[in-house]
Structure 1
């Protein structure tokens, strides 16, 4: 049995665990452009890097961060997001500062969340691509 056949089987099994869906977007480059007709700035468009199945798992319990007594508590949550290892995820790799946007899954709280990518794990013998993402919340408002 070859390593390639073992990896193919492992990748297929890992993808079966991916019950959520997500999109990974790359922020547009360049400065916002002022539109004199609307009087507003337009941010450069994001680029779609990936869309498809994914799996989200917490990496640790929430970490509280102190603020002044007048501020509400700030809580940071960290997660691992796994996407399938495919040739397309190899040719268009995910970068730090890309944003994972959760589009569906069993955990309704995640749907619509924008999770900035803080770290990407690379390996030629992985069964999936692992991304570390985070959110911060204060008083029920999510920052990410």
Structure 2
């Protein structure tokens, strides 16, 4: 009996998407310019350019944040952290290019409402694989400006 791997993966994708991709995320190109305060969320947001994708997704933290050091070992620590996150989207979502801005625009009932309006920058193009059932993109949280 032959195994129908494409059918198995398609069915797995439906199950995974229905169980994990419960929130709405937006991929957009960076518009440039300084962060702008959004009084609705209380956050400073990077201006977004063209919307590349808006649909089902999930943002999850990866490993613990790390402090970045200057190139020269004798220099002080840089005052910026690398906050590692991942966004999961359906395989039908576009591949996010490096520096694509990812924003959580809605969360499921009972979800973490503090995610709405938070932004991340894609660190690399979305990952791919021949046996994937969802798309995975590595993110770095955009740090808040203005002391928030």
The normalised TM-score by structure 2 is: 0.68
Question: 1:121 offset after TM fit, Å?
Answer: 0.3
Deviations 1:16-58 (A, max 9, x none): 1112211101235xx98xxxxxxxxxxx972221111111111
Q: 1:45 to 1:7 in 2, by over 3 A?
A: same
Q: Any gaps of 5 or more consecutive residues in structure 1?
A: 33-43
Question: 1:138 offset after TM fit, Å?
Answer: 6.8
Match of 1:116 among 118, 121, 125: 121
- Aligned equivalents of 1:25 and 1:124: distance in 2? 26
Match of 2:26 among 23, 27, 33: 23
The Cα RMSD (Å) is 3.3
Deviations 1:62-102 (A, max 9, x none): 22347999xxx64331101000112xx3xx43211111111
Q: Which one has the bigger strand percentage?
A: 1
Q: Any gaps of 5 or more consecutive residues in structure 2?
A: 34-46
Question: 1:133 offset after TM fit, Å?
Answer: 0.5
Aligned residues between the structures: 124
Question: 1:7 offset after TM fit, Å?
Answer: 1.1
- Aligned equivalents of 1:62 and 1:3: distance in 2? 38
Q: 1:96 to 1:139 in 2, by over 3 A?
A: closer
Match of 1:48 among 51, 54, 60: 51
Residue 93 of structure 1: SS of its match in structure 2?
A: coil
Residues 95, 117 of structure 1: 8 Å contact kept? yes
